[in-house]
Amino acid sequence: MDKFLNKAIIGNKNIVASFSQHGELNRFCFPYIDGRQFVDFFHTGVKINDSNTIYLHNDINNTYSQSYVDGTNVLVTNIKNTYFNLKIEQTDFVAIDDNILVKKYFFSNMNSIDLDLKFITHSKILSNSLENYGSKIFENGIIQYNHNYTMSIFSKNKLCGHRLNDVQNQIDSGTLEDKDIIGMSNEVAVSYDVGTLKPKEKKTFYLYVSVDNSPNWSTEKISHFMKLDDEKALSETVKFWKSYLNKHTAIKLEKYEGSFYKKIKEIYDRSILLYPMLINYDYGGIAAALEVDDERQKSGGYRYCWTRDAIFIAEAFDLLKMEEDTERFYNKFCRKTQSENGMWEQRFFTDGSLAPCWGYQIDETASVVYGVYNHYLHTKDKSFLEQNLKMCENAIKFLDKYVENLLNIDEKDLVKKELDEKYKKTFNPAKHISYDLWEMNEGVHLYSLSAIIAGYQSMKNIYSAIHNDGEKNARLKFEKRNKQIMKLDKYIDLLQVFINENFIDNKQKILKRNLSDKSMDISVMGAVYPFDIFAIDDKVIKNTVSKINMTLKTYKDGYLRFEGDDYMKGDRPWVITTLWMALYYLKAGNKAQAEKCFKFVVDNASDYGFLPEQVRNKKSDYDWVVGLGWSHAMFVIVLDKLLKN
């Protein structure tokens, strides 16, 4: 299997699991999507009559088909072993209220002879030299444990064989024998007697995988799961997800016809079903995606929360009637993660802990203030603004310091004077730099400055929205806020002058991405959407779009990020950038071009409606991260605007 790809994703609020297209369990995360990843490998198989182990996920005689139960996060993988003419329907779901993965296997003997079945699980728990696991057998399965976590594999059937050490020497035969019932190996195997299937006979077998963040795995917990009504749990899980989908379906697409709209609905529905698994419901963080690069071999990782990414996702939440999740992000996560100086670091774990970072991005801070006001525009709830006022004011103070450092502003002098030539001539951008939107180049960037202006404008709007003549000390508060608004206006003017003088190529009359080079970069469109720094009909914007189409547009209507982009071998258009251009075209009144961009994304979604980060341009196939929260957010935003346009 390709360990850098998640084909299908299921889960609940605490467990997130991913599978290959052949039904192999690839990842198993707990207690959050960015928590402990338990699976090194998890292989299931059968021994039929006197055969060796036949792995369900990988056998030359197996054929496969796979799909979700419609409108749910319940995955069904159909496997047929053509040699023994045995059909296996594998159904995987995570129970809604229990931290348990249920694996249902429905066997059908399509042969003319009896088939004696033994079910085998061969797995290795992910660990390292500082976190070794022990293993303990009980009559129905195996418990793997260390000081902090427990993972158990068991069934209601009793074991007929097990192996705790030197598993490789026995696993191929499918006959497991071991005198030990406790051991130190991370790799184990257990087997169960399913029984003999007569021709045309069918049997069901259940396997359970459960995790806990306590090493004291009690018999009471196992007893609880052993009493689980499997069919009822499956029915309740299906019912829960169908109800959740219906509750958050704000756009009704059933009235549209054709295969294209069917695919749009599939992506839309999968977006709604994906998001609950990206959210940390305790702390409000929103993961970018389920991790694909656990060891950071190719990237910096994706299981983290970037505040900048999350403001786009939060906008999509609002469009999906997920306002509570938006407010949890701002009210809990953003408040917890804000530094004392008012800034937000590059990225965090979803519980608000600081994640591994490699730099500093000023747009992360500016985006939060913009996002707070953007959510208010959706709800018109002034109490939300009041709850987050102090957080936004602290963020503005940090942005002020950045701008003052960047532009050599003496604040005391500034408040005494009007904007004049002095402040147009004393810019010193070398004094303060940050990483760009793509986290690859340090400097002063157009996207970053546009975000700051939008943050300033949002702060002005927040003050205006919460103004109340009847509140306590209203006059003093009004005077203080009015003074701050005047300062914000001046800083906005200064930044706009700075952008006009430094981020427009005077020869080509196009936007520049930063002060260091003239490579075209689609992030400059942030000055149009979402930050509205340039008018849509500004000639420099039209010229910039023409240059983008000449340099970044692929022959299949997808868009690269910037010239010379070699991330993941390069030459791969991104879903985010392509939908960004769709948003520009919609704003410009060119719906036909917007639809071309949108169609490229729809055509390159996965079989189940997941959107990737990138697309293989030559193969027209999704690539790298599948189920990227930001990609799905842009899809929801564009779809909403397309249908309203």
Tens of pLDDT, residues 477-512: 778 889 999 999 999 999 999 999 999 999 999 999
Q: What number of CA atoms fall less than 13 Å from residue 297's CA on the CB side?
A: 7
* CA–CA gap between residue 309 and residue 353 (Å, rounded): 17
Q: Are 384 and 329 in contact (CB under 8 A)?
A: no
- Compute the distance between CA of residue 346 and CA of residue 448 in angstroms, rounded to an integer: 13
Backbone φ and ψ for 129, nearest 5 degrees, come out as: -65, -20
- CA geometry: angle 390, 393, 398, nearest 5 deg: 130
Task: Pick the closest to residue 167 from 79, 62, 45 (CA basis).
Answer: 45
Contact 283, 336 (CB under 8 A): yes
Cβ burial, residue 282 (10 Å; 0-12/13-18/19+)? middle
First to last CA, the chain: 43
Give the pLDDT confidence score for residue 427 in this predicted structure. 45
Please give the Cα distance from 130 to 122 (Å, whole number).
23
282 in any annotated domain: no
Structural domain contains residue 224: yes
Compute the radius of gyration of the chain from its Cα atoms.
28
Inside any domain, residue 22: yes
Residue 637 lies in a domain: no
* pLDDT given for residue 338 in this prediction: 97
Q: What's 235's domain CATH number? A: 2.70.98.10
Residue 223: predicted pLDDT: 82
The C-alpha angle with vertex 346 and arms to 345 and 351, in degrees rounded to 5, equals 75
**Main-chain phi, psi angles of 171, to 5 degrees:** -65, -35
Q: What is the pLDDT of residue 425?
A: 45
DSSP H or E run through 161 = strand 159-163
pLDDT value, residue 216: 63
Q: Which residue type does 34 have?
A: D
The residue behind tokens 């695919």 is 263
The pTM (predicted TM-score) of the whole model is 0.94
80/54 Cα distance (integer angstroms):
12
Separation in Å, CA 628 to CA 324, 497, 536: 21, 36, 28
Phi and psi torsions of 88, nearest 5°: -130, 120
Residues 6/267, Cβ–Cβ less than 8 Å: no
Residue 469's pLDDT is what? 57
| Cβ atoms within 10 Å, residue 641 | 17
Look at residues 602, 618, 599 and name the one whose alpha carbon lies nearest to residue 610.
602
Report the pLDDT value the prediction gives residue 130, as an integer from 0 to 100. 77
> By C-alpha distance, which of 85, 76, 81 is closest to 105?
76
411 domain residue, yes or no? no
Contact by Cβ (8 Å): 524, 438: no
Q: What is the pLDDT of residues 199-235, one digit of tens each?
A: 999 999 999 999 988 766 666 778 888 889 999 999 9
Which single residue is written with the structure tokens 């184990």?
A: 188
Number of domains in the chain: 1
Nearest to 237 by CA among 107, 105, 91, 106: 91
In a domain, 93, yes or no: yes
Nearest-CA neighbor of 147 among 136, 133, 165? 133
Could you tell me which residues come within 8 angstroms of residue 226 by beta carbon, excluding any fewer than 6 positions away?
A: 140, 154, 156
Residue 482: which residues within 8 A CB-CB, separation 6 or more?
Answer: none
Residue 84, both tokens: 């023994």
What is the identity of the amino acid at 455? G
Q: Which residue has the tokens 């959740």?
A: 244
pLDDT given at position 5: 83
Residue-wise burial string across 352-385, b where 16 or more C-beta atoms lie within 10 A, e elsewhere = beebeeeebbbbbbbbbbbbbbbbbeeeeeeebb
Instruction: Report, as ranges of residue numbers, the positions in the chain whose pLDDT lies below 70.
Output: 1-2, 215-219, 411-432, 469-474, 617-621
pLDDT score for 620: 52
Establish if 217 belongs to a structural domain.
Answer: yes
Which contiguous run of DSSP H or E holds residue 494? helix 474-502
Q: Is residue 202 assigned to a domain?
A: yes
Q: Which domain holds residue 216?
A: 8-243
User: How many Å apart are CA 205 and CA 89, to the nearest integer?
Assistant: 10
The pLDDT tens digits for 557-615 are 899 999 999 888 777 899 999 999 999 999 999 999 999 999 999 999 999 999 999 99
**Distance (Å, whole) CA 131 – CA 108:** 41
